[in-house]
Structure 1
Amino acid sequence: MNRLIANRGLLQIFFALQLVVGIMFIFNYMVYKNSITGIYEKVTENNRMVIKNIIQSFDSSFASINNLMFNIHALPYGQISDSEGKNDMEKVISLQDSLARMVSTLDFVEDAIITYDYNLAITTQGTSSMEVLFDRKYTTGKYNSGFWNNFIRSDHDFTVFPAEVYSDINGANKRNLIVAVDSSKIKMSNKKLMVLIDVNKLLNSINLKAMIPGASLIVLDANRNVILSTEKDLDLVDILNDVYFNPSSEASLTRENYEYNFYKSESNGFIYINKLPYKFQNIDSVSNANLWIMYGAILLAVVLSVLLSIYLYRPVKNILLQLGGSNVKGNDFVKIHSGILKVQRENESLKSQMNLVDEEIRRGVFLQALDGYAHSREYEMQMQNQYAYLFQCRHFVMAAIQLIPQEGAGEQTDLSVEEITEIIEAGVQESIDHAVVFHEDHLQFLVLIGIEHPSDRKKVLKSFESYILQTKGDTFTSFRVWGCVSRAFESKISNCQEAYQDIQNGFLYRNVNTKEWVTDTEAIRFVPDIHFPLQQLEKLSNCLMTGKTDEAMDIVDTIIEENASLRIHHHQMVHIAQTMFFIMLRQTNASEENRQELFRIETEFIGKLHDAFNYQEIRALLMDGLRRIAAMRNYDPKSKLNPAFISQYIELHYMENLYLDHMAEVLDTSSKYFSNYFKKTFGVNYVEYLNKVRLSHAREYLKNTDLSIAEIGEKTGYTNSSTFTTTFKKYCGVSPSEYRKKTAN
């Protein structure tokens, strides 16, 4: 021992080993705290943000259901039966068509049901009875048609029934559905409404995968009845009894190995319960085991350092093993250094991952600030924490960049949105000092630009226009790039939503005749006048019906050019184009096997229409659609019973007494067959079509001649002036004399 003490070299090695042991202890403890506790706290915090986004999506979905019910109530027909109790099938079909269109806007709605007298049920698929619907098509062991009839008749609030598995009478076609029944206490119409919600589609639209692994979500109505649960056989009775809800606060409860977080919706009173593991599973035992392992390793290292200071190679080998080293020959101290560097690299990797999480949190906070809804105090604090990052100056403007892939695009379309965001941010910051970029949706990006004074906006606008032109030339050659700049606002989070609305208005109200690729929202002016000639649209329909494709193209071209000269807004031109397209689409008489092709043409047209930048592209889309639709019309020009002959005959003989039997005799068919054929081919009944042709000529007489009302009525095929006046007012909204006065002015 005396020799050992006398050997300073060995003592230096011993104390050096003690120093290494101390450093290892501190370093391992920091790694332990940051890698277990820190990560759990981050994951838990992110999970709260995810849950609140999910709850907002649920609230939004149920708000959509309420809006759907409100719109269904707003449909016409307080009753569909006459005084004798017979149903008016024209009203029924009209209600069914309107219902189908409304329901198609919500992917997660399986079906909607309208009933008046509890016998006839109108759905998106057709009409039925409550007994057939709920005893044959939607059957479950818990409810039957008798239950639904009694419940609808009872005095009740808006009620959402828990998710149940419904199937047909044979047990096939099983679907997990939620049934929402409208309130009978607040009567908006005589309609009784039920909405069937597909649970699987609803959950897919909300994306529950973002929750922490092992967590589940339970949805309860205001009366604490379970509507939906992602976990089966969950007993919440004892847990709910221990929770008191304050409408302005949240609640939390820990039971056994789980933590239950309770949230109450301010919009509909629903209660959302997020069940998640209390910390990670077995986290306490793992933490304690790690601590004991760490303490034991340190103690062992101290003992070994005393014994192995004499035998130098042994402590070095053990240290290497602690750092993940091996028995390969080489410089042991270099290996120790390499092991420490490896641990440092792992920490840097962890730090990089946490930076990505922080970036995503900032993006989430910014996008939530755009929705205009009130948020919890906790979320408001999160927004305030990001204030310095978002607002670097006293004022700001918001800009948008939209990328539209061009046909035959190259490799740039394979870029990820993160890569595109970095490219845009780097490019914008070259010419603008204070700018942050966020990916909003699809290929649209938002830029928050800081300015010290509102007068600096003009300079920012010019710099932004220069950047957009530059990207079109070299940065994003495979895309069509379009930009928009909002007004200037004071740097407040509450102003982000108004700035974002400016951007949305810029997309909608941009001029269709502009050659600029950046829209200045301050320069937008409302255009009240649009060219929408109903007579020309009716003529377009007739031309397409009679095979006059070239004349139809001239009408389309004239309407588009006239509106372009008026410099109307983009959304107005889109509406006009859609109207003309659907008028053309109505004139197709394609066979059943070609219906799918028509659907494909319509889908392709609508998708390209909203991506069109100017009116020339909209006109080209309409022309292409017209040619494709005209090619699908099938009729025999040699036969009298074809649209061209019928419309031409009516045009030449409209002033005569063209009663139905006369037309049937001319076409060598029966009046009943001709009536059915005419309505199927022209989309309206024969009398209505004849009146429109006659009144079209009557309007020309009223505008261009001094003939009396009675003379004009006689020239256009009406037996007396009273019939002519009544018919004219029915279709035109004013009397012939009033129409003449208006056109004269």
Structure 2
Amino acid sequence: MTPIHRLMASRGLLQIFFALLLVIVIMFVSNYIVYKNSISGIYDKVTQNNRLVIKNIIQSFDSSFAAVNNLIFTVHGLPYDLESEDKSMDMSKAYTLQEHISRLASSIDYVEDVIVFYDSLDLAVTSKGTSDFSVLFDKKYKHDTYSANYWRMFSDSKHALTVFPIADFAVSTDGLTRRTQQLMTVMDGNKVRLSNKNVMVLLNAERLLKQIDLKSMIPGASLVVLDANRNVVLSTDQTQDPSDILDEVYFNPAKEATLTRKDFEYNFYKSDYNDFIYINKVPYQFQNIGSVETANHMIMISAIISAVLLSALLSVYLYRPVKDILKLLGGGHVKGNDFRKIYSGIVKVQAENESLRTQMDFADKELRRGIFLQMLDGYAYSRELEMQLQKNYAFFFPERQFVMTAIQFKIPSDGDSQPGMPVADIAGMLEDQLREAGPAIVFYTGHLQFVALVAIRQPSARKAVIECLENLTRRAAKEELQGLALWASVSKLYDSKMTNCQEAYQDIQKARIYRNINSERAVVDLESIRYVSHIHFPFEKIEKLSNTLLSGKTEDAKHILQDIVHENTERGIHHHQFAHIAKSIFYYLMKHAETSHVGSKESFQLEMAFCLQVDNAYSYRDITDALQAVVEWIGSKRLQEGKSKLNPEFITQYIELHYMENLYLDHMAEVLNTSPKYFSNYFKKAFGVGYVDYLNKVRLSHAREFLKHSELSVAEIGEKTGYLNASTFTTTFKKYYGISPSEFRKKPVG
């Protein structure tokens, strides 16, 4: 056979060989194009992503500064003025102010401390206690520049709200040891005084920057933050001086600008919130670009040589398998092991494609869920979010109007019951049920709560949504979700706009806290709620409740509590109002019924459990049960005391709390579960003085304070300290002090 005939007989082999050579040529050309363009293309993509990262960082800074500004505004609004005309100071107000500041500061993770001080007082009230202003900055927060005198001088000058750069403070918590801590100081403005307070907020720089996440910037980049007066607040590059480049920048209407200088590109951004300027310095090109080019050359040469050799070998090896694949595609009898390998590979690819399709569907659902949750959060609004929403607008808003509803499942108090299906299946079930009223999408927001967006074509369809939810609550407990209670709320009707989602979400939250406590309906319509202001909070009954518990009469105390609950349910007050009443009763009982046998840790645990139960209550019965449990707990502690009541500590505590009442001998004997005669003898033996004399001394000591430090009349003071009339008060006062109350008031304070 001639060489030409042999070549024609092997034309299949040649076709494979030349096909592989064509692939080599295409690969070489593609590699060359990649070589010429990949570096710049990758760099452009990376810098574009870096801009998005910087905008997210700016948004995080704005959210943080907004939270601090709101905190300062709230502190100014606290109604506790420690300054008075006579320059005296009410420490009880200071302690109350400190408690409020502590609760406010604990709500923001990166707030280290909040300091309130006054121009004419040396006292500083912080979230961690009270202190002398000079001692606070000389001992606890020590800095060579930011001393107590510096802050006094700065507070006396006219200034706007000022953010000081991060600085190293020597912080001491015990007065003995010090540790270096980076703090950022925010001082409130005084050009327009909101109150006579000066408010400082110390921010923990480590926690703040951890929340901001500066590490997500492109490697080699840096960030400088300037305030509105172009003072440096934060810099990740201490060698960079922004003053020499700021004058060359002109911000466009989008408050952005770019400047290229040497090997770096400077991107400027101005915040919409507080006009802070952010300078992002990024490398103009990747570093070590020469080594990248050399490596790319070597890769291209190696790839060409390897591909030529590989094409020759594969052309021989693949000739028969290719024929088998052609038989597979075209039909016919197939033999050989190669076919099974190729076929199994095809099956595997198909399975992987199906798995990838499932993952893509899941990712698409999660993306839409993330967009929806961001629509509910006003602080998360951004231009990128609006672009994503435009792509999915028809999915969220198929009609011109919508209502939003929250569907909350409640696990019984025993905690044994759980949903009979995953939350994803529950969301699908809810969507199917709500589609009876209109197109609906349901998202899971956590803690067994689902939020649904129901499209409305006609305003009358809103009623159908409510009816659908009521039917759902009746069916859910009998079918798949057996054992779980269901509660739902419905917003007002809104036009299909992204911004309206935030307001609709606030509606369904308000529906829960403003629902009437005597309502038995599981579906709350916000439009049907009417505001109720006449709550029932009887101070005399609560005082009686405390005294009854103090006397060990738990059942009587529970009846009094039931009367208060019944009266409020009759008035139909709101759920959040009743929760406030319950917490007020709790703190009053804990204040007046606390005994020496109850440790602070046990009281703290009781308070935490009670507040958690009240905050998560679904009906007034849950709150009532929590109050009843507290009454029983205090009552049990009183019963455990038993005969321990008959001790000097308890007697003095009781007299000090109730000296203004009619503390007859019989009443004290009843409280102490003994006879009047035994109590009288025990008191004289324990205190060395008669009960009446002791009671008069306690009352008169308080009367002296009222005479010197109040404008009350003598008759009012006598009544306030437990005397039936002014004559008895005057006679008793003169008996013990030798002068009348009026003469005592006229005497100068010694």
CA contact (8 A) 1:404 1:479 kept: yes
SS across alignment from 2:194: coil
Match of 1:124 in 2: 127
> Structure 2: which amino acid aligns with 1:191?
K
* 1:623 to 2:631 alignment: no
Match of 2:185 in 1: 179
Match of 1:490 in 2: 495
> Structure 1: which amino acid aligns with 2:529?
I
SS across alignment from 2:618: coil
Match of 1:666 in 2: 691
> Structure 2: which amino acid aligns with 1:579?
S
Match of 2:146 in 1: 143
Match of 1:742 in 2: none
What is the TM-score normalised by the length of structure 2?
0.74
CA distance in 1, matches of 2:562, 2:265: 66
CA distance in 2, matches of 1:221, 1:265: 10
Match of 1:64 in 2: 67
CA distance in 2, matches of 1:344, 1:414: 33
Match of 2:136 in 1: 133
* 1:189 to 2:214 alignment: no
Match of 1:737 in 2: none
CA contact (8 A) 1:137 1:168 kept: yes
CA distance in 1, matches of 2:434, 2:130: 63
CA contact (8 A) 1:664 1:671 kept: no
Selected match of 1:521 from 526, 539, 544: 526
CA distance in 2, matches of 1:393, 1:275: 46
Match of 2:14 in 1: 14
CA distance in 1, matches of 2:579, 2:250: 52
CA contact (8 A) 1:79 1:190 kept: no
Match of 2:112 in 1: 110
Q: Deviation at 1:412?
A: 4.4
Q: How does 1:258-337 map to 2 (within 5 A)?
A: 262-272=268-278, 297=303, 301=307, 305=311, 309=315, 311-312=316-317, 331-332=337-338, 334-335=340-341
SS across alignment from 1:487: coil
> Structure 1: which amino acid aligns with 2:691?
V
Match of 2:404 in 1: 398
Q: Root-mean-square deviation (CA), in Å? A: 5.1
Match of 1:724 in 2: none
SS across alignment from 1:362: helix
SS across alignment from 1:602: helix
Q: Deviations over 1:512-558 (max 9, x none)?
A: 22333222223323333322223222322333344333222212111
Match of 1:610 in 2: 615
> Structure 1: which amino acid aligns with 2:487?
W
Q: 1:528 to 1:130 in 2, by over 3 A?
A: closer
Moved more, 339-348 or 377-386: 339-348
Selected match of 1:387 from 390, 393, 404: 393
SS across alignment from 2:565: helix
Q: 1:282 to 1:696 in 2, by over 3 A?
A: farther
> Structure 1: which amino acid aligns with 2:166?
A
Q: Deviation at 1:74?
A: 3.2
* 1:159 to 2:162 alignment: yes
Q: Deviation at 1:621?
A: 0.5
Q: Deviation at 1:613?
A: 1.0
CA distance in 2, matches of 1:47, 1:357: 23
* 1:435 to 2:440 alignment: yes
Match of 2:515 in 1: 510
Q: 1:696 to 1:129 in 2, by over 3 A?
A: closer
> Structure 2: which amino acid aligns with 1:519?
V
CA contact (8 A) 1:262 1:274 kept: yes
What is the TM-score normalised by the length of structure 1?
0.74
CA distance in 2, matches of 1:381, 1:5: 65
Q: How does 1:656-735 map to 2 (within 5 A)?
A: 666=691, 669=694
Q: Deviations over 1:363-408 (max 9, x none)?
A: 3332333344695545433332221121122322211122344445
SS across alignment from 2:630: helix
Q: Deviation at 1:179?
A: 1.0
CA distance in 1, matches of 2:645, 2:542: 24
CA distance in 2, matches of 1:223, 1:673: 61
Selected match of 1:223 from 229, 238, 246: 229
Match of 1:637 in 2: 645
CA contact (8 A) 1:545 1:643 kept: no
CA distance in 2, matches of 1:25, 1:476: 64
Q: 1:447 to 1:691 in 2, by over 3 A?
A: farther
Q: Based on CA coordinates, which of the two structures has the bigger radius of gyration?
A: 2
> Structure 2: which amino acid aligns with 1:145?
A
**Unpaired runs of at least 5, structure 2:** 323-335, 665-687, 705-709, 732-750
Moved more, 527-536 or 276-285: 276-285
Percent identical:
41
Match of 1:540 in 2: 545
Q: Deviation at 1:3?
A: 2.5
Q: How does 1:327-476 map to 2 (within 5 A)?
A: 331-332=337-338, 334-335=340-341, 358-372=364-378, 375-409=381-415, 412=418, 420-429=423-432, 432=435, 434-476=439-481
> Structure 2: which amino acid aligns with 1:485?
V
Match of 1:554 in 2: 559
CA contact (8 A) 2:545 2:560 kept: yes
CA contact (8 A) 2:188 2:198 kept: yes
Q: Deviations over 1:412-455 (max 9, x none)?
A: 4799xxx5245313442355162222233544321111232222
Q: Deviations over 1:106-130 (max 9, x none)?
A: 3432222222237332323443333
Match of 2:3 in 1: 3
Moved more, 342-351 or 452-461: 342-351
Moved more, 565-574 or 249-258: 249-258
CA distance in 1, matches of 2:596, 2:53: 49
CA distance in 1, matches of 2:486, 2:49: 34
Q: 1:65 to 1:306 in 2, by over 3 A?
A: closer
Aligned length: 672
